[in-house]
């Protein structure tokens, strides 16, 4: 879900993780089975609103070919 939210907002994953915070992230991990059953688009919107996440300008299509080579 962190990846989905980050991509939607054109942010890096670390932005989402840092904005959510350690304590809340631990809570979200503990309830991951429940969140897994919910509509992911709704969970994305809920997270964006609840944690006041902002849209960025990170290019999510720019892939580091050294880390993830094209096969």
Measure the CA–CA gap between 34 and 6, rounded to whole angstroms: 21
How many domains, in total, are found in the chain?
1
pLDDT at 62 exceeding the cut of 80: no
Residue 27 has pLDDT above 90, yes or no: yes
Closest CA to 20 of 5, 42, 35: 5
What integer is the mean pLDDT of 20-47? 90
Q: Which domain holds residue 45?
A: 1-71
Q: How far apart are CA 7 and CA 16, in angstroms?
A: 10
The pLDDT assigned to 63 comes to: 74
Q: What's the pLDDT score for residue 65?
A: 76
Report the mean per-residue pLDDT for the chain: 89
- The alpha-carbon radius of gyration of the chain (Å, integer) is 13
């Amino acid at each position: 879900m962190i990846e989905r939210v980050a991509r939607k907002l054109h942010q890096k994953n670390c932005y989402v993780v840092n904005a959510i915070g350690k304590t809340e992230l631990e809570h979200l991990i503990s309830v991951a089975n429940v969140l897994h059953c919910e509509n992911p688009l709704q969970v994305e919107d809920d997270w964006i609103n609840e944690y006041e996440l902002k849209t960025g300008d990170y290019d999510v299509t720019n892939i580091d070919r050294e880390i993830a080579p094209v096969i």
